[in-house]
Amino acid sequence: MTLIRRNGFAATSIDQLCTAAGVTKGAFFHHFASKEALGVAAAEHWLAMTSPLFAEADYHALPDALARVLGYLDLREALIAGDIDAFTCLAGTLAQEVHQSSPAIAHAADRAIVGHATTLEADVGRALADHGVVDIDAAELALHFQAVLQGGFVLAKAAGDPEPARAGVRHLKRYVTLLCKGERA
Amino acid sequence: MTLIRRNGFAATSIDQLCTAAGVTKGAFFHHFASKEALGVAAAEHWLAMTSPLFAEADYHALPDALARVLGYLDLREALIAGDIDAFTCLAGTLAQEVHQSSPAIAHAADRAIVGHATTLEADVGRALADHGVVDIDAAELALHFQAVLQGGFVLAKAAGDPEPARAGVRHLKRYVTLLCKGERA
DNA sequence: GGCATCATACCAACCAGTCGGTATGGCCGC
DNA sequence: GCGGCCATACCGACTGGTTGGTATGATGCC
């Protein structure tokens, strides 16, 4: 499904998808009722595929919650490298493209993004609590992480360069550090 | 060109565009060499259209640079309201969709985003300098503003709700305030 | 046999882009 | 000021190819 990330959902034909996957069109429509159904399934598959990558990461073993949050952001920054289509997010691409034409796909993309953010919520909440930050909602901040990443991806695509996306994550780390410790990283 | 923001570039046919604009296909291809040329022109037009909106805003009259920066962010937050297709950014939509298939459009979109960020650079730089922040590049921070906005738009589209985009801007204001004043807003 | 899993051939709709033709209006010699 | 000339602006039917989707048949498994 890299094709969709590269060229977009509308610009990727079912024939292309079938050729790339080595199946025939008959097989495709046997498994998916329509192209839209494929989009929904792709968004769900995306969440299922990326989840273990973060679930099994090392930073979970750190004793300090803030360190775990910063560890997550370190990993995100490290993942932003090489070819643009390699680190970019399918859910964001889908959401931006079909938000009006296909509510079903948009909703699936939203679940993928929010679902991932939810996995951060506990650590973010504890990090904030550990440092006496009481006026910030952990879920909202975790979602903001995703916003910064998605925005970084957009800028990276426009510029043809991963650097703006990495810079965004660095700002995010500084923000979290300032929030919790009240001092510059 | 609202059609492109609503449905995406690939999903919007030239016939639709012509019908909406009240012109014929002959007239279209008289003015634009191809659909790609229209995309480039649309991105350029987008920058030209949105520029005065910010150039003439009130916050420019404020004496303090940090206040001007926060004033800009206040305006951005206020603009995120109502229908999703009304406040969303055309350049970001284009960039995400055609970054691989059409380098010309992607580059035009990049110029629109970076061009807008450049107009913030002076105020951001002065605000940082006024508060003794020396290790942050003003241009990069101004670009980060755009990343947060673009990311907010993506989440808003996925959720079908402007709130995540507004929340992103609020976090941005807090970040800038923390950076400059070292304290919570 | 009967059912799930495909493969092949096909279709109507739609796409970006073309092309022959027309209307308009400025310009120039007279 | 007028007739001929031509460039620019525009029209809309048309084309070759592609699209998402379907109808029908082959194949293997129980």
> Tens place of pLDDT for every residue, chain B, 185 residues?
788 999 999 999 999 999 998 999 989 999 999 999 999 999 999 999 999 999 999 999 999 999 999 999 999 999 999 999 999 999 999 999 999 999 999 999 999 999 999 999 999 999 999 999 999 999 999 999 999 999 999 999 999 999 999 999 999 999 999 999 875 43
Reply yes or no on whether the pLDDT at A155 is more than 50.
yes
Q: What is the pLDDT of residue A184?
A: 44
Partner B contacted by A84 (CB < 8 A): yes
Q: What is the pLDDT of residue A21?
A: 86
Type of residue numbered B90: L
Burial of A7 (0-12, 13-18, 19+ CB in 10 A): buried
Q: What is the pLDDT of residue A113?
A: 98
Judge: A10–B6 Cβ closer than 8 Å, yes or no: no
Nucleotides on chain D that have an atom closer than 7 A to a protein CB are 9-14, 18-25
Q: What is the pLDDT of residue A143?
A: 98
B:24-83 residues touching chain A, CB 8 A cutoff: none
Instruction: Considering only the beta carbons, identify the residue of B96, B107, B179 that sits closest to A96.
Output: B96
Reply yes or no on whether the pLDDT at A1 is more than 80.
no
Residue-wise pLDDT for A12-62, tens only, equals 999 999 999 889 988 899 999 999 999 999 999 999 999 999 999 999 999
Query: Contact A151/B146 with Cβ under 8 angstroms?
Result: yes
How far apart CA A22 and CA A107 sit, in angstroms, is 29
Determine the average pLDDT of the residues in A107-132.
97
Partner A contacted by B150 (CB < 8 A): yes
CA A79 from chain centre, in angstroms, equals 11
How far apart CA B58 and CA B75 sit, in angstroms, is 9
Nucleotides on chain C that have an atom closer than 7 A to a protein CB are 5-10, 14-21
Q: What is the pLDDT of residue A176?
A: 97
Give the distance from residue B113's alpha carbon to the nearest chain A alpha carbon, in angstroms.
8
Q: What is the pLDDT of residue A157?
A: 98
Instruction: Considering only the beta carbons, identify the residue of A148, A151, A157 that sits closest to B99.
Output: A157
Q: Which fold has domain A34-181?
A: Tetracycline Repressor; domain 2 (1.10.357)
Q: Which CATH superfamily is domain B35-181 in?
A: Tetracycline Repressor, domain 2 (1.10.357.10)
**Which of B144, B173, B177 to probe by mutation at the A interface, max A CB count within 10 Å?**
B144
Q: What is the pLDDT of residue A185?
A: 39
How far apart CA B40 and CA B1 sit, in angstroms, is 12
Residue-wise pLDDT for B42-78, tens only, equals 999 999 999 999 999 999 999 999 999 999 999 999 9
Partner B contacted by A148 (CB < 8 A): yes
**Which of A99, A111, A114, A181 to probe by mutation at the B interface, max B CB count within 10 Å?**
A99
**Which of B155, B169, B170, B179 to probe by mutation at the A interface, max A CB count within 10 Å?**
B155
Burial of B128 (0-12, 13-18, 19+ CB in 10 A): buried
Which tokens belong to A39?
Answer: 């989009």
Q: How many contacts, defined by CB atoms under 8 Å, are there between A and B?
A: 171
Partner B contacted by A178 (CB < 8 A): yes
How far apart CA B152 and CA B136 sit, in angstroms, is 23
Q: Which residues neighbour B148 within 8 Å (Cβ) at sequence distance 6 or greater?
A: A147, A148, A151, A168, B168, B169, B171, B172
- Nearest chain B residue (CA) to A154: B96
- Nearest chain B residue (CA) to A184: B179
Q: What is the pLDDT of residue A183?
A: 52
In this structure, is the CB of residue B52 within 7 Å of any atom belonging to strand D? no
Type of residue numbered B123: D
